[in-house]
Chains A and B, each alone.
Chain A
Amino acid sequence: MNLKKIVESLSQNERKIIPYLDNSLKDICKKTTLDKVSVLRALEFLQNKGVVKLKTNKIQWISLGINGILYRKKGLPERRLLNKLAERIILPLENAKRISGLTDDEFKAAIGALKRKAMIEIKNGKIFLSAKKEEIAKKTLEEKFLESLPRKYEDLQPEEMYALKSLQERRGIIEIKNKTEVNITITELGKKLMKTELKNEEYIEAIDEKLIKSGKWKGKKFRRYDVTSPVPEIYGGKRHFVNQAIDYGRKIRTEMGFKEMTGNMTVSSFWNFDALFTAQDHPVREMHDTFFLKDVKAELPDKKLVEAVKKAHEGGIAGSRGWGYEWNEEEAKKMLIRTHTTCLSSQTLAKLKEKDLPAKFFAIGTNFRNETVDWNHGFELLQTEGIVVDPNANFRHLLGYLKQFAEKMGFKKIRFRPAYFPYTEPSLEGDVWNEEKQEWVELIAAGIFRPEVTEPLLGKPIPVLAWGPGFGRMIMSLFKIKDIRELNKNDLTQLRKMKFLIK
């Protein structure tokens, strides 16, 4: 900026301090009658305009503490004790304390200090003065130091450092504060500016109602702003980033022709496990993995369905051998908080009529696992679920839907490999390629529901393509989050700064 423009951009305070830039900060305040904060702010602005260079030094400033002030006036405890001793040479400890008028702590400190200096000796409960008169008359290092305060720490001589340390050990004598000291260097531009006559020409500052109405701007100049200088940040209200991502997932699914399933998070073992051909002794059904609910039992659905599920488990159904064990109805009545949104799929299938086929459903929701919490694990997980119920569906379609969904979520490279789940066959896991780590990362679990699942629920083994990718991982990847706990952390500072999902 040239000089003229700079002149036009000066605020009133800046104008005021320019003539005194070669003064100390204290003097600038005095001469301009501005307070320190205003001067500092104006100096900052001047620095932005290249008029001055400011250098702030952090200095440690040693000053007197509460006791220090007192002792400077009345003398250090050891001095006061010494004075009393000088009168009598020998004093019993008890008397010494009373006569000197010191507190317990002060008395102890005084005795210690005098012993260290070999000015007294203590024998048989009495104090003997051993210092000579001249020695007593001389000021101690500590006393001299105390009188010299306040001081800058960096200026201390070695023996003063010693005095400081010994005084610091005692309460309230010394106080060390960190202060900042501002050095002003005037730039070439600044020097020119100081020589320039700053006419008291009136510049318009903020525009207000009065000014607009009065038309007083005519013929006057608007003070130039430094439009490049930073301004304080503000933040607006917004949806939680997890919900932004869920909305996006929902949008993708509805665009792909899927209908949303919702339902309770508390569910019976029947819908969560039995209807999904998960044997009753499967490890997932242990308390170790699943949150079962206390004091409540489920009602099972209609008998026909329960019987069919029982048969599927025991001796098999639709050409299956079954798991070959005795199915227990009570086990199915145990209530839990859902371990997967697949329990919504089992309930949806049970309600579905053949005339409604083909049909596609999705769900996005929270699931629960009895887990401890760390950066990679938690007891609440988000999952998105999709099913396609179509008499003509096949394995290649499953791969097609998954590829399409992954692409829409921003994953370009995907591979499928065999996997195992109790309720799907064939089963697969989908890995997506992580460019950053250069490795495959597991993202999707999928398969075609087994006949042992579909026959009881749908009345015949119609193929149902099903998949349930962990949605939490996708959200973490969308928002570049590394710690799963951040999804429910509710750190307001972080939430205020969180970017919007532009999708």
Chain B
Amino acid sequence: MANIRFSRKLFEKEIGKLDKTMQNKIAMFGTTLESFDDEEIEIEVFPNRPDLLSYQGFKRSFLGFLGKEKGIKKYKINPPEKDYVVKIDSSLKKIRPYTACAVIKGLKFKDEKIKEIIEIQEKLHNTIGRKRKKIAIGIYPLEKIKFPITFKALEPDKIKFVPLEMEKELSGLEILQRHPTGREYAHLLAGKEKFPIFIDAKGDIMSMPPIINSNLTGKITEKTKDVFVECSGFDFEIAKKCLNIIVTTLADMGGKIYQIELKGEVNEKTPDLTPQETPLSIENANKILGLELDEKQIKELLGKMGHEYEKGIVKSPAWRTDILHEIDLIEDIAIAYGYENFEAEIPEISTIGEEDKKETIKRKIAEILSGLGLLETSSYHLTKPEDMFKKMNVPEKMKNNYLEVEDSKTDYTLLRKNLTHCLLRIFSENSDSEYPQKIFESGRVFELQQGKIIEKESLSVAVIPSNFTEIKQILNYLFKMLDLEIEIKETENFSPWFIDGRVAEIRINNKKIGEIGEIHPKILRNWKLKYPVALFEIELEEIFELIKEEG
């Protein structure tokens, strides 16, 4: 999510005093007031409204919401001057097929303004631009460029220019390897045979989108008054919207908008600020919102949100990217109406509440065990490979069937296969807590078997210091209370953390559901435990089934 900051003085001069009511209005417009002091105001803009990512864009919409302006703000669009042409080459097809361009004249670039524009550009890159993958924006000083411009793809070694913030000429590949911005976005061009470039009529390369502009033809300075703007990417509609957002922001800063003629597969003049039309049913709006608004009220409310309503059709500004369906307009009606003005209501519909049966059984098991003085614990589902395998002495050939997450930011990278190691970890972390320690946990364990994920509910009980007799007493008590019969059977085939001869299979209806035993001192040492541990772990799925059948 993106935040924007602007001067409080400017806000109070152009919009209004930032008192409690105004603070609340900002939140109720859908832009959270993150923070403010005497100098600055910071608000959060949700990703569906990139048109609010500049002070100018926010002011334009917020004045409407406050009722100070109404409908779609009008901007004058000048037709292209004689050679304002951008040719789009078919070589771009699979590389970066689209661009939408414009010229803005008469800007005054003070140092501060340049910074502001770069910030807006970066925010758009990171939101609707999807970190330049979908859309990248370039801004160039008009006086350095000669029209017509060509947008085409070229082999990387044929691309040679001095990129911004560098003094030496680099090739396309060198830019990806050596320039800091090049390295950051290299993945967007990596592996492509050709890289996209804008090149002017003099043959000067202006930029290599979505990476970097040329230092010669693509650098804005305080002397710049007129600029050429382009948005390139994979989605022409979004490129055009993005261009609309930038040109109207620049126009609000005092610039005049001129169109560019695009020539190639699409032949269009951009920017085009013709409003977008969406049909709206007043009946649907009232039904969804639970209101009884008439046409006049709807018109009024939509007007506050910068739309224009006429006979079932809503015209929306060409810089709004979020109107996909009438439901988006209905939300705007709700915002204009004010979320605080809706009367909350609970309808009289009768439904029957029901807890999941497994949860009931799990709760009963927990009650039985806590009655024995055991404490329930709650571990993470993700675990460390070291904890699940190494410390448990799992041999290399048995380290399988586990699920691993990609690119975890912590060292918890596997989904747990059992709870046993989690309970030993708890003992290990609690060596300064009073003994004996008697704990249990029930929860989900995960396994990968033949490409399929098996998720099961599991239960483990562990006691330190303890022995086989004590843990078996607990197991027996639990199953007596559940009124289920289990069988304890000697086994040769047991988990590597138990002691041979002090481990058994727990069976129910001739089916193995778990293991019970004493933990081998090797494992105790791995966990730095000074006392003996006995424990059991069982799958609960069979128990759920048996209890349900009886149920």
Q: Point out residues on A near B: beta carbons under 8 Å.
A: 236-240, 242-243, 247, 250, 253-262, 264-266, 281, 283, 287-288, 291-297, 316, 318-325, 335, 337, 358-360, 366, 368, 370-373, 379-380, 390, 392-397, 399-404, 415-420, 425-428, 448, 450-452, 463, 487-488, 490-493, 495-496
Contacts and interface: CB of A to CB of B under 8 A. Distances in A.
A488 B378 contact: yes
A401 B346 CA distance: 6
A335 B439 CA distance: 33
22 contacts: A237-B376, A250-B359, A262-B359, A264-B455, A281-B130, A292-B405, A293-B405, A293-B406, A319-B325, A320-B324, A360-B353, A372-B409, A379-B410, A379-B412, A390-B349, A399-B344, A399-B345, A418-B334, A426-B289, A426-B335, A450-B325, A493-B430
Contacts of B353: 253-259, 360
A417 B339 contact: yes
Contacts of B340: 415-416
Contacts, number: 254
Contacts of B14: none
B130 A425 contact: no
Nearest to A358: B349
Contacts of B29: 418
Nearest to B26: A417
Contact of B355 (A250, A360, A399): A250
A262 B334 CA distance: 33
B370 A239 contact: yes
B351 A236 contact: no
A404 B291 CA distance: 21
Contact of B28 (A283, A390, A417, A448): A417
B326 A294 contact: no
Given A359-B351, A370-B407, A448 B288 contact: yes
B19 interface: no
A490 B404 contact: no
Given A240-B377, A243-B378, A370-B409, A358 B343 contact: no
A343 to B, nearest CB: 14
B453 A335 contact: yes
Contact of A396 (B323, B343, B372, B375): B343
A420 B375 contact: no
B149 interface: no
Nearest to A371: B409
Nearest to A394: B290
B324 A452 contact: yes
Contact of A319 (B290, B326, B437): B326
A463 B453 CA distance: 33
A195 to B, nearest CB: 44
Nearest to A254: B353
Interface in B430-455: 430, 432-434, 437-439, 441, 444, 446, 448, 451-453, 455
A492 B325 contact: no
Contacts of A417: 27-28, 30, 32, 339
A324 B235 contact: yes
A281 B133 contact: yes
B169 interface: no
B205 to A, nearest CB: 28
A493 B429 CA distance: 11
Interface in B323-341: 323-328, 330-331, 334-335, 339-340
Interface in B225-263: 234-235, 237-238
Nearest to A389: B351
B301 interface: no
A380 B380 contact: yes
Nearest to B351: A257
B373 interface: yes
